[in-house]
Structure formats: structure tokens, C-alpha cells
Amino acid sequence: MTAIIVTGQFSPENMERVRRAAPDVDVRFVPKLDDSANGLGDVEAVAGTIKATHLAQAPRLKWVHSWAAGADNDLFPEMLESPVVLTSSAGNGAIPLAEHSMLLMLMLNRDVPRWMRAQAERKWERFTHPELNGLTVGIFGLGNSGSDLALKAKAFHMRVLGLRRNADRAVPGVDEMFSHARFHEFLGQSDFIVVTTPSTPETLGMFDAAAFHAMKPSAYFICISRGGIADDDALLKALQQGWIAGAGLDAHGVEPLPPDSPFWSLPNVIITPHNGATTLATAQRSVDIFVDNLTRYVAGQPLRNVVDKSAGY
């Protein structure tokens, strides 16, 4: 291995960890690769986001590591056709995303915006609210964040359902597994649906009008992974016309969410700006995953989190 480019901002400690992982390699730290990046001719690996123009300038490139957990933005046509190995930072934000899901469930379940409005108006307004105890959460996707959420939901004494492609594999904390063939049954049994799955051709637009009609009118929809898995027009109708009770949206079909988006003003929606995993620990876990992979790469060992380009994750 001759040279590697590492993009981003790093502490001196983390820069030293990267160098120690590849002591005989020319490690180049840069804030990012611009559209006309030069000097890629001898580069064998890149940590960060690359584009088709970069691929064309890097004939020796063998490996790209994405700082993101989801690989959808890295799977442009040229990358799909390339023999370059793509790895991701999957698992880096599992803990905070599961926490964010619990936060949104609690806020929706107890109508926290009502308390916030009362506080702003200096009103002592008490009301009877539900509990999460005994309710059912359906987790759509049981990767790192979905699996962690299952354990957290069980700690709140909830019934946990899971839906994934491989429904035969048990997941700790999940009471019942569902296959895609039982999608609407899964929706109909859940008081909360939490989307943690990556965006793939299979999941894109899967939550359409029929899906929202299959949910309970009292149920809430929460999306923390990627926008586009829910059809925005169908979701908007579901929220406006009472097909479902409300939504907590951290991932959106268009990001940033435009100021004129009707989702901002819906009284039954809580919006966060794709911010659920923005923690210092998430960033550190990304570095940890990359350093481990770099150590493996130099030693000729199998890499972690290799993206299946055909599956999209």
C-alpha cells in the first residue's frame, strides 16, 4: 500500500492512531476531496466521500471507507460498476438513534408539545396521558440501531415486533419476527412504527398510502434512518386526514426540509433535522471502525462492514 487519503477533521490523538495503524503508508489528511482533486494517481484507499470524477483519477484505488453508516449516497453508477471495495461506518450511530427513537415515542405518546405550548404561555395545564408500558412497537429494519432499540423498548415494558428480510433469525428483545410478506399485518399490530432500515431499491417508497391505511388510526410513524422510505405525499395525507395519529421525523424525503414544507406546521408532527446520531461518541466510533479496518487492510485480513453494492447496504 503506497498512499491513503483521510478526509475530515481529526484530533491529534486520532491522527496518530491512523498513522500507527499503517506505519509504512503515506497517510494524507485533508478536510475533503474537492471536485477537481488531483494527486490521486498513487492513492490506494480513501476514507470519506468520493465522486465519479475521483474514481477516474485514481487508477490504483482499491478501497473506499465511508464515514456514514448508510451507503446509499456512495452507490453512484460508477461505484456500482467499479471493483473498488466499499465499507461503511455502520453501527456508529446505533446507540443515539435508538435513544432518539425512544425520545420521539415518549414525546408523541405524552404530547410533549402541549406541555411546551403551556409553558410558553405560562399555563399550569395538567392532563391525562398514556404510557409506553404495554404498547407495541414495530421496528422496520433490525440492523444495529433497530436491534439496540428493541432492547431499549423492552426496558420500557413494550411488546416488540421486528420486520426484516431474514425473518428466521431471532433478535434479542424482539417478541415476534415478520417477513416482508406480512408487512401489513406487522403494521396493523403496532402502536408505533419505527423505520431504521437503510434506503434501498426494495425499501424506497415502501410506506405508501396502502401501508399507512394498514396502520392503526391511533398509531405513530417514526423515521430515523433515511427519507424516501415513506412516500411523502402519502405520509402527508395520512397525517392530515387522520389515517394515523402523528409522526416523529428525523429523516426526510428532501433534506434540508424546505421552509415551505407543510410538514413543519402539522400539529401532530415532531421534526428534528436528521440530527439523532450527531454525537461526539458517534464520530469517535466512526474513527474506531476505520482504524480497525485500516489495520485489517494492511494485514491482508477481511474488512468489516463491506457494502453489498447490489443490495445497497
Domain range annotation of the chain:
3-91+280-299, 94-271
Choosing from 16, 131, 202, 255, the catalytic residue is 255
* Whether pLDDT at 169 is above 90: no
pLDDT of residue 79: 96
Average confidence (pLDDT) over 291-303? 97
Strand order in 3-7's β-sheet?
26-30, 3-7, 43-47, 63-65, 85-87
3-91+280-299 and 94-271, same CATH topology: yes
Catalytic residue among 100, 164, 274, 285: 274
Extract the C-alpha cell encoding 19. 498513522
| Burial category of 244 from C-beta neighbours within 10 Å (exposed 0-12, middle 13-18, buried 19 and up) | buried
Longest dimension (CA), the chain: 67
Q: What is residue 167's predicted lDDT score, i.e. its pLDDT?
A: 85
Question: How much is the pTM?
Answer: 0.93
**pLDDT tens digits, 113-162:** 999 999 999 999 999 999 999 999 999 999 999 999 999 999 999 999 99
Cell of 68: 456514514
Query: Which CATH architecture describes the domain 94-271?
Result: 3-Layer(aba) Sandwich (3.40)
- What's the mean pLDDT in 207-233? 97
Choose the catalytic residue: 65, 164, 226, 252.
226
Query: What is residue 81's predicted lDDT score, i.e. its pLDDT?
Result: 94
Q: What does the pLDDT read at residue 34?
A: 78
Averaged over 22-49, what is the pLDDT?
Answer: 88
**pLDDT at position 165, please?**
86
Q: Which of 4-8, 39-43, 183-187 has the lowest mean pLDDT?
A: 39-43
**Which of 3.40.50.300, 3.40.630.30, 3.40.50.720, 3.40.50.2300 would CATH assign to domain 3-91+280-299?**
3.40.50.720
pLDDT for 166 equals 83
**19 band by pLDDT with thresholds 50, 70 and 90:** very high
pLDDT for 45? 97
Q: Is 272 exposed, middle or buried (0-12, 13-18, 19+ CB in 10 A)?
A: middle
- The answer to whether 285 is a known catalytic residue is no
Is position 78 annotated as part of the catalytic site?
no
Asked if 117 is an active-site residue, the reply is no
Per-residue cell: 289: 471502525
> In the chain, which ranges are continuous DSSP H helix?
12-21, 52-57, 77-81, 94-109, 112-120, 144-155, 183-188, 209-214, 232-240, 280-299
Residue 36 has pLDDT above 80, yes or no: no
User: Secondary structure of the chain: what % helix, strand, coil (to 5)?
Assistant: 35, 15, 50
